[in-house]
Amino acid sequence: MKRVFHFGLPLVTSLLLLTACEQKPDFEYYYYEPEDYALLSQYLNLPQRPDNYSTKLPKHLEAQGLFARAVDQDKAILGRVLFYDKNLSKDKKVSCASCHRQEIAFSDDKPVSRGVFDRVGTRNSIALGSVLNFSAYYGTDLFGPSGIPFFWDNRANTASEQNLATMTNPVEMDMKHPEIVDAVKAQPYYAPLFRMAYGDETVTIQRISEAIANFVNAIGSYRSKFDREAEKTIGTEVWSNRERLNFSGFTPAENRGKQIYLDNCASCHSPLQGRPMKMFANNGLDATITDKGVGGITNQPAHMGMFKVPLLRNIALTAPYMHDGRFATLEEVIDHYSTGIKPHPNLSPELRLGSQPRRFNFTPQEKSDLIAFLHTLTDEELLVDKRFSNPFK
């Protein structure tokens, strides 16, 4: 027995000493190969740890059956660079981000966007930050016929179609498909990014549009003051009309504005800013239309003068308003609905009384309260979210 202790004790002691000598874990995380990262770092500010583009929507939106779909992380990273790359335009001065500026919720502050060589477009740039999350309900590739199409006139069914149409539009980026491919091939930073996204460096127009689509599908706004308050109502009341409760974190003006919104606007723009209630509508901007809108694509008289119904997320940041940017302020927009709706055969039923345009006749107090509420839809985090920021140095 003595021998057991003679041998055993030193052994146990040595083992304890060995454990004490263990160094801290030396874990190396990597995404890019070192030489690739060195190359990329000459042009781009990309984190060594790749950004996570998965999205978890707040509970009040998931309760409505809205979920963000998974996007391919590697393709979204490539898509982010493509989205901000001015080399993809004819004069190398315009990128997707030129008309979708992050600091104003990926919108443009001009009534109608300016493209290459300062060419003037015909419509206002849609705020990408007005959408809850593109992958939650946009695109027929993800959702079939119920997927919301892209553009004011809903002419693109998928995010890929949308970005290709923009890059080839003569008043936007004015590129041909082979020119886009060549422009991408010419930039040294794309080889490693394509390798990460696709396993090889082959550049095709399909890959380019798919990568941008993955990036765009990850964009969305769901962290506004309104969302934080709406999420608190989960589990506190009956399922329906939760949004009608006064939110404890809202000011009285914001709560009054919310009621006005729910009573007058939500039947088109969605009570919880989840998914628009209508794909498109005529909101009485003109008695005689100058832009056919959806009707110009479908050639159906019943669609003439109708345009996409957007959500109102970040609306306070995305002036000017309407498809042609005719209203410079939210006050002007509310004045339009208050007393300015024009008659039109296709006027949305919600905006008419019999055959006449409806007059909401908002009082000054109501207008002020409604604007206070609309400011609660601003998602400050989206505006500074590094995952969606310009990666170029």
**Which positions lie near other proteins, rule CB under 8 A?**
3-4, 7-8, 11-12, 15, 18-19, 22-23, 25-31, 49-50, 52, 54, 73-74, 196, 199
Residue 5 beta carbon to other proteins: minimum distance, rounded to whole angstroms: 10
Closest to other proteins by CB, 73 or 264: 73
The angle at the Cα of 145, spanning 297 to 67, to the nearest 5 degrees, equals 125
Residue 254 beta carbon to other proteins: minimum distance, rounded to whole angstroms: 35
Closest to other proteins by CB, 133 or 282: 133
Amino acid in position 39: L
Torsion of CA 189, 210, 392, 33, to 10 degrees: -40
A 10 A CB-CB count for 230 gives: 25
Residue 19 beta carbon to other proteins: minimum distance, rounded to whole angstroms: 5
Q: Is the peptide bond before 170 cis (omega within 30 degrees of 0)?
A: no
Distance CA 266, CA 65 (A): 18
Burial class from Cβ neighbours inside 10 Å (0-12, 13-18, 19+) for residue 259 reads middle
Closest to other proteins by CB, 15 or 287: 15
280-281 and 307-308 as β-strands: parallel, antiparallel, unpaired?
Answer: antiparallel
Q: What is the largest CA-CA distance in the chain?
A: 107
Residue 381 beta carbon to other proteins: minimum distance, rounded to whole angstroms: 19
Closest to other proteins by CB, 103 or 200: 200
Closest to other proteins by CB, 48 or 339: 48
C-alpha 204: how far from its chain's center? Answer: 25
Please name the helix (run of DSSP H) or strand (run of DSSP E) that holds residue 190, with its range, or none: helix 190-198
Residue 181 beta carbon to other proteins: minimum distance, rounded to whole angstroms: 23
Closest to other proteins by CB, 53 or 222: 53
Residue 75 beta carbon to other proteins: minimum distance, rounded to whole angstroms: 11
